[in-house]
Amino acid sequence: MKRLLVAVLLLSFVLLASAKTTITVWTFFGGGEGFLVTELIKKFNAENPDIEVVEQIVEWGQLYNKLITAISAGDPPDVSVMHLAVLPDFASRGALTALDKYVSKEILQDYVPEIAAKAHYEGKLYAVPFDTHPLVLYYNKKLLRQAGLVGEKGEVLVPKTWDELLSYAKQAKEKLGLEVGISSEIGAMMGERLFIAYYTQLGGQIYDEKTKTLKLEFDKVKKTYEFISNLYTSGIMKTMSYDTAESLFQNNQSPFHLNGVWVMAVYPTLKDFEFGVTSIPALPGSKSYTWADSHTWVIPKKPKDDPAKIAAAVKFIEWFARNAAEWAKAGHLPVLKNVLNSEAFLGLPMRKDYAHVANLVVPAPSMKGWVEVRQKMWEIGEAVILGNMTPEAATKELIDFVKQVVED
């Protein structure tokens, strides 16, 4: 009798175990972001006894290489994280599962439209985004007060236009004897992010729906490069790496700082550091449009679809997107409007100061080869900043390069 009981128990365990769908998820988050993802996955597993999500952390610089080789070997994870900007390179190669028939209709309607559009490639949905991380402007309140940049009520002056930013930065730099007026990284931050932001504010449309490719208007590109070049020739900015730009700002040695929202995971925790965050300035007559990328979940293509696994995976990635208020502690903005407007999200430090940026984002164009184009943009931007290339030559080079990538 006892034996039978044990056998029945064992059998039921086996059955239970087999009823459980295990899905592997590749992520590349480390530090504070990493803890948040791991915690959320734990929470999901606790709420969904029939599914077990197993997280495998892949080093950030290696994930896309590994993913493409795993897909080609026929053994990819069930779910992977992917930047929205990288999506077209994978989707165009048939490396991802189209999700249209799996995801809930109502979740898509609730998305910030710009982001939802870019989660599609050639009309099909390939990703479920769970955040957006735009370029924003940080300012050091202490330094601005010391430089006399205060209004009538004693509040620090927050620049609304580029001219204001430049004059405030110049004043603070000169008055306080600082190295820079604005600190920011020279490569991606200037060549791609600020470029896209400024170009859009000039009225440029970066993506052409008709030709499905980048659209670069010569005059506007040239004006953008002139603007970026001036930041450096005027001495307001200096060439520096990402880490240096951050250190200068964190150590009260730079009044303004251009960076993504992801640093909001750290800045509010720093001692003796009085800072503010706002959208980047706007050109007269424009809204403060800004570059942004998104983290998304995708389902890599396998040699054979397993409907049970796909269903479990979709359940997980939708759950994650709906619970993005927790994830937003890392600084990112949610992309589902009801999460973006939720008290859980807006109650986080300073989120009210930049939550509105979610509606002003300009994501990377949905084009195959964007990863290559943007690398070129970083380099051309650097060449312009270093004075090795005139804005005119840079414009020509960029437009020619895009043409070459599209034709390839």
Partner 1 sequence: MAVYRKRRHALLAYLLFAPFCVLLFVFRLIPFVNSIRMIFYKWDILGTPKYIGLGNFTRMMSDKVFWSSLWHTVYFVILTVPPIVVLSFLIALLINSRISFKGFLRSAFYLPYTLTISVVCLTWQMLYNPYFGLIGRMMKAVGLQPINWLADPVWAMPAIVITTVWWTIGFCIVLYLAGLQQIPASYYEAAELDGANGFQRMFYITIPLLKRVHVLVLVTQIIASLQIFGQVYIMTGGGPAGRTRTLMQYVYEQGFRYFRMGYAQAMAFVLFLVMLVFTYLQLRLMMTSAKEELI
Q: How many CB atoms lie within 10 A of CB 353?
A: 15
SS3 of the chain: helix, strand, coil, percent, to 5: 50, 15, 35
**178 binds partner 1, rule: CB under 8 A:** no
Which is nearer to partner 1, 343 or 408 (by Cβ)?
408
Which is nearer to partner 1, 65 or 109 (by Cβ)?
65
Which is nearer to partner 1, 186 or 339 (by Cβ)?
186
Q: Which of 146, 165, 168, 134 is nearest to 274 (CA)?
A: 146
Q: Which residue has the tokens 């504070």?
A: 32
Which is nearer to partner 1, 266 or 383 (by Cβ)?
383
Which is nearer to partner 1, 110 or 372 (by Cβ)?
372
Report the nearest approach of partner 1 to the CB of residue 76 (Å). 11
Q: Which of 193, 203, 168 is nearest to 283 (CA)?
A: 203
For residues 57 to 96, the per-residue mask of contacts with partner 1, x marking binding by CB under 8 A and - elsewhere, is -------xx--xx-xx----------------x---xxx-
CA distance 10 to 303: 34
Q: Which of 24, 239, 252, 359 is in the footprint of partner 1 by CB under 8 A? A: 239
Report the nearest approach of partner 1 to the CB of residue 386 (Å). 6
Of residues 246-265, which lie at the interface with partner 1 (CB under 8 A)?
A: 247-248, 253
Size of interface with partner 1, in residues (CB under 8 A) = 34
CA distance 289 to 359: 9
Name 175's Cβ contacts closer than 8 Å, sequence gap at least 6: 146, 147, 148
For residues 285 to 324, the per-residue mask of contacts with partner 1, x marking binding by CB under 8 A and - elsewhere, is ----------------------------------------
10 Å CB burial of residue 167 (0-12, 13-18, 19+) is middle
CA distance 157 to 75: 55
Q: Which of 98, 383, 399, 406 is in the footprint of partner 1 by CB under 8 A? A: 383
Q: Please give the biggest Cα pair distance in the chain.
A: 89
Name 371's Cβ contacts closer than 8 Å, sequence gap at least 6: 85, 86, 89
Residues contributing to the site for partner 1 (CB under 8 A): 64-65, 68-69, 71-72, 89, 93-95, 179, 186-187, 238-241, 243-244, 247-248, 253, 369, 371-372, 375, 378-380, 382-383, 386, 388-389
